[in-house]
C-alpha cells in the first residue's frame, strides 16, 4: 500500500483509489467540475439572497453562482463542465468568497486549477460599539484602541484634539 506523498495526492487518494492521482488535464478538470458542483449544491438560495422555491437540484443555480462571483454564467458553466479554459487568481478568489470555502477547500481549489495561492487577505480589524461607547464616555484624558499591528482603530475626543489622530492613516491606507 502506497502512502500519498503530497496533500494533493492525499486529497485524491481516497476518491480515486489506491496509488492513483490526477495525472492529466482531463482528470484535473473533471475533479474541478465535481468540486464546484458539490460546493454549489451545499448553499441554499435563501442564505445567499435568492428566492426559495422548487428546484430540480439542491443548492444554487450556475447562474446564481456566476452572478455572486461577478462573472458570466456561460464562462462559469464552461468551467463546471470541465472545458479547457484558464482561470485567473481573481476569479478563484471570487469563487472562494461566493462558495464560502474553508481554508483547506481554498488550497484544494488552487491545486486543481494549478494556480499559486496568494496569501489569505488581511482582515481589517474593528471594534465593537460597546468599546466605542466606553471611549466616548471616558473624559479623564486621551484614550485610543490599537489593533494587532498597532493601527489606531478608535479614539475619544481628547485623543483626537491632542494627537491629531484624524490625519493619521491606518495600516490598510484608509483614514480612520
**What is the structure's pLDDT at 38?**
93
Closest-CA residue to 75 (of 90, 86, 59): 86
Query: What local confidence, expressed as pLDDT, does residue 147 receive?
Result: 85
Tens digits of residue pLDDT in 101-144: 998 999 898 889 888 888 766 677 888 999 999 998 998 889 98
Per-residue pLDDT band for 175 (boundaries 50, 70, 90) equals: very low
Residue 57 has pLDDT above 90, yes or no: no
> Which neighbouring-strand residues pair with 169?
175
pLDDT tens per residue, range 62-72: 999 989 888 88
Domain residue extents for the chain = 7-112, 129-167
* Model confidence band, residue 176 (pLDDT cutoffs 50, 70, 90): very low
**To the nearest 10°, the Cα dihedral for 127, 130, 136, 138?**
-110
For the domain bounded by 7-112, which CATH number is listed?
1.10.260.40
| CA 134 from centre of chain | 33
Amino acid at each position: 500500500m502506497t502512502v500519498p506523498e503530497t496533500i494533493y495526492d492525499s486529497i485524491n487518494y481516497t476518491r480515486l483509489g489506491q496509488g492513483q492521482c490526477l495525472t492529466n488535464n482531463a482528470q484535473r478538470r473533471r475533479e474541478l467540475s465535481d468540486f464546484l458542483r458539490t460546493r454549489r449544491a451545499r448553499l441554499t438560495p435563501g442564505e445567499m439572497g435568492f428566492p426559495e422555491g422548487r428546484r430540480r437540484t439542491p443548492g444554487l443555480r450556475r447562474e446564481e453562482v456566476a452572478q455572486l462571483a461577478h462573472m458570466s454564467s456561460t464562462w462559469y458553466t464552461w468551467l463546471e463542465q470541465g472545458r479547457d479554459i484558464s482561470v485567473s487568481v481573481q476569479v478563484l478568489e471570487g469563487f472562494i468568497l461566493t462558495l464560502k470555502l474553508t481554508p483547506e477547500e481554498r488550497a484544494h481549489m488552487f491545486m486543481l486549477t494549478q494556480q499559486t495561492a496568494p496569501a489569505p487577505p488581511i482582515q481589517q480589524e474593528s471594534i465593537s460599539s460597546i468599546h466605542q461607547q466606553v471611549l466616548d464616555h471616558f473624559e479623564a484624558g486621551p484614550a485610543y484602541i490599537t489593533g494587532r499591528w498597532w493601527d489606531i482603530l478608535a479614539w475619544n475626543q481628547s485623543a483626537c484634539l491632542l494627537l491629531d489622530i484624524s490625519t493619521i492613516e491606518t495600516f490598510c491606507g484608509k483614514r480612520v
